[in-house]
Structure 1
Amino acid sequence: AVHYAGIPCRIDEIHELAREHGLRVIEDAAHAFGSRSRDRLLGTFGDLVCFSFGPVKIITSLEGGAIVTPNADDVQRIRELRLLGVDTDRALRTNTRMWDYDVASQGWRYHMGSMQASIGLAQLALVDTFIENRQSYCRLYSERFADIPEIVTPATDFSDLALFIYFIRVPDPETRSELVAHMAARGIHTGVHFQGAHEFSFYRDRPRGDLAVTELVAGQQVTLPLHSFMSEETLERVVDSVVSFFE
């Protein structure tokens, strides 16, 4: 269940489908730290929830992320997997020597370092400011682009959203390419987030269903500059460049 860009997915329908088939829901909230749905934070709906704290996310620990779950067995299993399969709780449970540990399964070295965690924790005190700023910038973008019929904006009400990226959709592929070139000529970096994963060579020859919507949206999107401390000058420069292209 992916909350793309920080916008809630149809989580209730996904849960209903999971119940019908006896499945658990993994909630991908990598983009959605701080976003809400029905006054409830995204990242509180899944059996397991994944967050990302990469350099361009709402809050960052430079790299790394977190998994959240209410299930104690899942917690123990994740702790083992992230540290080479080592059962680090064994010594504490049995009150034996700390070097008397067990490797219960194959694992990886995925635990976060203390310095990264410290950076992330320090940013928690500022997260409300980060989100409020982003909401303000996204609101400005959508308001200024509202009268451009050639593009589609993600939303107009951002009061419950903490967007990781701000994207517009340009239905005509040729126009999209021209817009990207227009922005680049003015020194403004845009992006496409993301290509359909099934189009990459690693997955291309694997069985897949009908992904027409994925292909449609991937062919239309353009992401515009967005971070938590944008100047008014930068915002106006981006807006003016987009508006001037469609005039």
Structure 2
Amino acid sequence: MVERFEKEFEERFGGGCAPLAVGSGTDALHLAYLLAGIQAGDEVIAPVFTCTATNIPFLYMGATIRFADVEKGTLNIDVDHVKRLITPRTKAIVCVHYGGLPCNMDELHALAHEHGLIIIEDAAHALGATYKGKKIGEISHFTMYSFQAIKHVTTADGGMLLIKDRDLLEKAKRLRWFGIDRSAKQKGIWENDITEIGYKYQMNDMAAAMGIAGLEEFNDTLALRRRLLARYFDNLKDLDGVKCVGEGYTDREHAAWMMTIIAERRIELQAHLRANGIESGQVHYRNDRYSIFGGRQQGAFPNMDKLEDSYLVLPLHTKMNETHVDRICDVMKKGW
């Protein structure tokens, strides 16, 4: 079932990249970092604003994280800041497609080409997104997807890594399973030696079966979420004190995993929504707030500093319809 899920996922999203199903999106990222050759002391540029899963694997590896600021309009990685962070020790750039809106991949790849860097995409939010007609998953050296419980496709928990260099696939499979050549072992021709450190990162058949079922209904899921997101954008376009994150881009298609706004008096708005039975929250936080990453870097991220007290995630999920979006927006229009 795992092999079937990998094959079906590759056919739909891979664009010629090799698929590797694993136990979580974090597993996939760690394997991508290992396959990219990142070692202790190497520098990696990564978003300061993301789920901690993007950056924690670097702590396993002893790599040095150079956090990059966010773009004001998208909360994606700020390419101009990335440019200033590149040093001779930089090995890779990691980008996150926040909420499902693709990053500026042309500029990131231009930087990678100029400096000989590897691009790793954290596409946990972005299943089904496209950038200038290309699927997210067929553009960069490595692309990770998450199948955690509330993603577009879920395997309860799980992930997929798409690998541009197919010659790396066999090594990836060994790293996924304790460093063992599992195919050779099952054929009885394994030499019973382990020569590289591996992990228990495999996906099981029950999870893969859920993934296969999720792919069958994926088109409907994506279409619904995009309709809901568009409804939010339309309803809130003229509301004072609110700006929709990721609105108005025509060169990329949003995967509509999250609906995020920048709001004046966010705390008061959140309380107003809750008083009307509407849950909202921030979901992700700037990573430099956490002691494990060295703590807050004062003044290093002016865009994040400006936005961290004003971004808010509104409900967007498959149990909703357009009427629910209208009600949420009507509550907001009453003021807070």
Q: What's the TM-score once normalised by structure 2's chain length? A: 0.66
Q: For residue 53 of structure 1, what is the amino acid of its counterpart?
A: F
For residues 98 and 16 of structure 1, the distance between their equivalents in structure 2, rounded to whole angstroms, comes to 45
Confirm whether residue 164 of structure 1 aligns to residue 240 of structure 2.
no
* Structure 2 counterpart of 1:245, one-letter code: G
Aligned-pair CA distance for 1:106:
1.6
Q: CA deviation at 1:182?
A: 1.0
TM superposition shift of 1:206: 8.4
Q: Distance in 2 between matches of 1:126 and 1:215?
A: 40
Kept after mapping to 2: 8 A contact 1:87/1:102: no
Tell me the CA shift for residue 115 of structure 1.
0.8
| Distance change (3 Å), C-alpha of 1:178 and 1:208 | closer
State the alpha-carbon separation in 2 of the partners of residues 48 and 208 from structure 1: 32
Letter in 2 for 1:166: M
User: 1:130·1:229 contact (CA, 8 Å) conserved in 2?
Assistant: no
Deviation at 1:193, TM superposition (A): 3.3
1:148 corresponding residue in structure 2: 239
What SS does structure 2 have at the residue aligned with 1:245? coil
Q: How far off its partner does 1:156 sit?
A: 4.6
Structure 1 residues 76 and 25, CA gap change in structure 2 (3 angstroms): same
Deviation at 1:229, TM superposition (A): 3.6
Q: What is aligned with 2:313? A: 223
Please state if 1:126 is matched with 2:126: no
SS of 1:51 mapped into structure 2: strand
Q: Tell me, yes or no, if the aligned pair for 2:97 and 2:125 is still in contact at 8 Å.
A: yes
Q: Which amino acid aligns with 2:207?
A: Q
User: Which TM-score applies when normalising by structure 1?
Assistant: 0.88
Q: Deviation at 1:99?
A: 5.8
- The structural deviation recorded for 1:87 is 2.1
CA contact (8 A) 2:232 2:329 kept: yes
Which structure: greater strand fraction? 2
Partner of 1:192, secondary structure, is coil
**Structure 2: distance between partners of 1:189 and 1:80:** 43
**1:78–1:216 Cα change, 3 Å:** farther
| SS of residue matched to 1:103 | coil
Alignment pair present for 1:188 and 2:278: yes
The answer to whether the aligner puts 1:52 opposite 2:142 as a matched pair is no
1:117-158 residue CA offsets vs partner (Å, 9 max, x unmatched): 111111111111111111111111111111112010121568
Shift of 1:38: 1.4
Match of 1:137 in 2: 228
Match of 1:72 among 143, 166, 185: 166
Asked whether the 8 Å contact 1:87–1:104 carries over to 2, the reply is no
Give the Cα separation in 2 of the matches to 1:148 and 1:45: 36
Q: Is the 8 A contact 1:48 1:69 kept in 2?
A: yes
Match of 2:128, as an amino acid?
G
- Which has the bigger relative contact order, CA under 8 A and spacing at least 6? 2
> What is the 5 A alignment of 1:8-47?
8-47=102-141
* 1:207, distance to aligned residue in structure 2 (A): 7.6
Secondary structure of the residue that 1:25 maps to in structure 2?
strand
Please give the per-residue CA displacement for 1:159-215, whole angstroms capped at 9, x wherever unaligned: 922211111111x3xx10001111112221101132111111211348899222233
Q: CA RMSD in A?
A: 2.3
CA contact (8 A) 2:299 2:305 kept: no
User: In the alignment, residue 9 of structure 1 is paired with which amino acid?
Assistant: C
Q: Who wins on radius of gyration, i.e. which is larger? A: 1
